[in-house]
Amino acid sequence: MKIGILSKRKTMFTGKIKNFLENKGFTVTVYTLENLAINENLLNNDFYILKSKNLFFLYAGYYLEANNIPVIPKPQMSFIQKNRIHSHFLMKRIGLFTPEIYLGTVDTFKNQLNLDDFPFILKPIMGSGSKGVRIIRTYDEIKSENNTILYMERYINGIHYNVYFIDNEICTLIKPPLSHEHVDMKKIETPDDIRNVIQKWRNYFNGELLFGHLDMVREDASNNLFTVDVGSFPEFSQWKCRISPVDRICELILKKYENLK
């Protein structure tokens, strides 16, 4: 069987997936921005693993699906988790606590925001994790080119969690505020309310969400658990639970493909 992987890089978790699948006897090709062209040559593989949510890889995923080539995870499901506006309102619809958000231009914010509302978290509309995320404490820190639309969230003081899940296995870690996935984190036993959030999030996707992660904050003032970010395919670099993330994820993907055939 021939398997393609759509990924920003050939190393790290992608490289581990490739090694695992090749050891199983499969032929694996990794497509990065350096060698990916969206054309009929992509149709030579049996199915694809969508490792990156970069828009070009999502477009490739849509092209493949239109030509009846399975893509795991599904591109639309990955797009939902990449677009922060989409994921924010989805989380609200399924009953999760999310921070209040603010959308507008720099001028709009400066005319309408109250000083008492600071600080905010400025985030790219398209993205996940900590890349491009920064704290905004004053009007002067709100900047953009060409008066583009900005996305900000109310900053929540509290305990920050990185929560991985692979099938029914949940790995919960405490992390420094606004940090990326690769910093050292402390593993804790998963509280019931975190487990319930993961279950609600997965239930919405009707069994399609095999793995992923959620960033959460337990607010000091209210003890409410807020979900502040979601990710469809993390690196699992801080996974500290009993199963091997590479082995289990590859097994889930292969089983999913077999069920689709």
At the second CATH level, the architecture of 2-72 is 3-Layer(aba) Sandwich (3.40)
DSSP 8-state secondary structure symbol assigned to residue 46: S
pLDDT at 112 over 70: yes
For the chain, count helices (H), then strands (E): 7, 13
Residue 257: other Cβ atoms inside 10 A: 17
pLDDT at 129 over 80: no
What pTM was computed for the model? 0.92
pLDDT tens, 66-100? 999 999 999 999 999 999 999 999 999 999 999 99
Sole residue written with tokens 């990916």: 36
Which CATH superfamily is 82-96+157-248 part of? ATP-grasp fold, B domain (3.30.470.20)
Domain boundaries, the chain: 2-72, 82-96+157-248, 101-154
Q: What is the pLDDT of residue 118?
A: 87
Give me the mean pLDDT over the 238-245 stretch: 94
pLDDT cut 70: percent of the chain above it: 98
In the structure encoding, which two tokens stand for residue 77, read together? 């499901």
Rg of the chain (C-alpha set): 19
Contacts of 12 (CB under 8 A, 6+ apart): 235, 237
pLDDT tens, 186-221? 999 999 999 999 999 999 999 899 999 999 999 999
